[in-house]
Amino acid sequence: MSTSPVCVDASFVIRLLESDSEESPPLRKWKEWHEEERPVVTPVLLFYEVANVLYRYVVLGYLDFERAWEALKVALELGISLQDGPELHLRAIELARELSLPTTYDAHYLALAERLGAESWTADKKLVRKVKRKFPFVRLLEV
């Protein structure tokens, strides 16, 4: 049993919020980490991304505004530790360039996991395929 931190990205948190069963993969992982007392961490940009995805769901008609607002409120109360710092941004821009990523958003999660020696969890299959060789600590949430 590990006590190292776990870094989650917005795609993981969105899947967690969408969980409709106690047996859903994101909810099982979430419970497992808490039982193991593993801290869950993320760059400060997480909630900007989660709020944006939920709002896009509203605009596209997948969710009504009240449900999106409630989901964001739940996300904000998950107790995820927000991390920041100049070195995180500097490393993220380096990683985005090294990995030919279109933005630095995903690179921030990678940089934080790298810095903390944490597993990095995502539901983004394309990202995992792209970075798995260089970053074996990246894990794909199977949904």
Per-residue pLDDT tens digits for 45-66: 999 999 999 999 999 999 999 9
Average pLDDT of the segment spanning 24-48: 96
Per-residue pLDDT tens digits for 120-132: 999 999 999 999 9
Q: Are 82 and 42 within 8 A, CB to CB? A: yes
pTM of the entire structure? Answer: 0.94
Report the alpha-carbon distance of residue 123 to residue 100 in Å, rounded.
19
Instruction: Please provide the average confidence, as pLDDT, over all residues in the chain.
Output: 96
With 70 as the cut, is the pLDDT of residue 1 above it? no
Tokens of 4: 């190292």
- All structural domains of the chain, each given as residue ranges with its CATH number in brackets, are 6-140 (3.40.50.1010)
